[in-house]
Amino acid sequence: MKKINLVILGALGVVGQEMLKVLEERNFQVNNLRLLEHKKFAGTIVRFQGKEYKVEETKENSFDGSDITLIAVGNSISEYYMPFIKKSGSLAIDNSSAFRLKDDVPLIVPEINPEEITNHNGIIANPNCSTIIGLVAINELNKYAHVNRMIVSTYQAVSGAGIEGMAELRKGVIADTNNEPFEPKIFQHEIAFNLIPHIDTPLENGYTKEEMKMFYEGRKILKNDKLMVNCTCVRVPVMRSHSESITIETEKDITIEKARELLKNAPGVKLVDDLENGQYPMPKDSSNQDLIYVGRIRRDISKDGLKSITLWCCGDQIRKGAATNAVQIAELAVEKGIV
């Protein structure tokens, strides 16, 4: 594998740190590594592949000479620095949502649509974490029977709100256990021993931006502008790994046996489906690894025929839902000779 001059923008955040971990695990060949952060973090020492690297303040010329820039920051920072990244000639792989729905920006899950990588204009977008998890789970079913409708409920871990969200759950559990007052700062309400059916900005249609991401991103990734998605997103007191309940409706008949066969051999999927013996996907089991666990596969009994199936899936939001997917895109770019 060619050695790459690599930049990570947002290197000390939860996703940036996981990117470094995944790059090391997968033995990504790095020639030169530059770690960028806010100026208050400049000088922090990070170890990677046996070497020490000093975190630098992000500047407009920080991307010069790089082949790939992995972006692990929010929309506003990504949008500000993107012109400088493109000017430098570095391929931007962006974990923010800023460019996902742009016509000239491919939105890639390597297990689903790797061929789209050649259509980039200097930017490749990493999809939303829940979108990645859900679409990897149903991809082989879609290829076989063509999904035209999805009803999805997501149960999203506090890792989706970053390091601060994870810390707030820990503090809230301690406060609640000791019957002490606690004022949430990251979430709208206390998350410890609670569920919050509200993630991201409310929209006029009664849904939130997070819920509509599955709708719009699903259509783009699956190349189906008629796909209908009804999504409800819930924040749950789980540290990491999102869970999703998904009902799909298909154009073609598909039996439960065929669905299990397809999922058993699906890229990026681990089939865990033995209800009688208590074997099914759970956040604790699916954390700290890259497969999407799928189980509880059953017929949708609210609909006649063989065109509707319900399943349950779990996947690590920080890894496959963010860092690992971005690293896989980088590997694909090297493999295809794009960088």
Residue 156 burial (10 A CB sphere; 0-12, 13-18, 19+): buried
Mean residue pLDDT of the chain comes to 97
Structure tokens at 70: 């992995």
Tokens 């979430």, residue located: 187
Task: Give the residue from 324, 335, 261 showing the smallest Cα distance to 292.
Answer: 324
Q: Encode 263-300: b = buried (16+ Cβ within 10 Å), e = exposed.
A: beebebbbbbbeeeeeebbbbeebbeebbbbbbebeeb
pTM, two decimals, is: 0.96
- Which sequence positions are flagged as catalytic? 129, 242
Q: Do 5 and 67 touch, CB atoms closer than 8 A?
A: yes
Q: pLDDT tens digit string along 6-53? A: 999 999 999 999 999 999 999 999 999 999 999 999 999 999 999 999
Q: pLDDT tens digit string along 292-309? A: 999 999 999 999 999 999
Q: pLDDT tens digit string along 185-199? A: 999 999 999 999 999
pLDDT over 70 percentage in the chain: 100
Residue 2's pLDDT is 85
Letter for the amino acid at 104? Answer: D
Mean pLDDT value across residues 200-223: 97
For the domain 131-317, what is the CATH code?
Answer: 3.30.360.10
Quick check: do 4-127+322-335 and 131-317 share a fold? no
Sign of dihedral through CA atoms 98, 103, 105, 108? Answer: positive
Residue 81's pLDDT is 98
> Does the pLDDT at position 1 exceed 80?
no
Task: Give the residue from 293, 287, 334, 295 showing the smallest Cα distance to 110.
Answer: 334
Pairing of the two strands 242-250 and 147-156: antiparallel
* Residue extents of the structural domains in the chain: 4-127+322-335, 131-317
Q: pLDDT tens digit string along 70-116? A: 999 999 999 999 999 999 999 999 999 999 999 999 999 999 999 99
Alpha carbon 57 to chain centroid, angstroms: 26
CATH 3.30.70.1150 assigned to domain 4-127+322-335? The reply is no
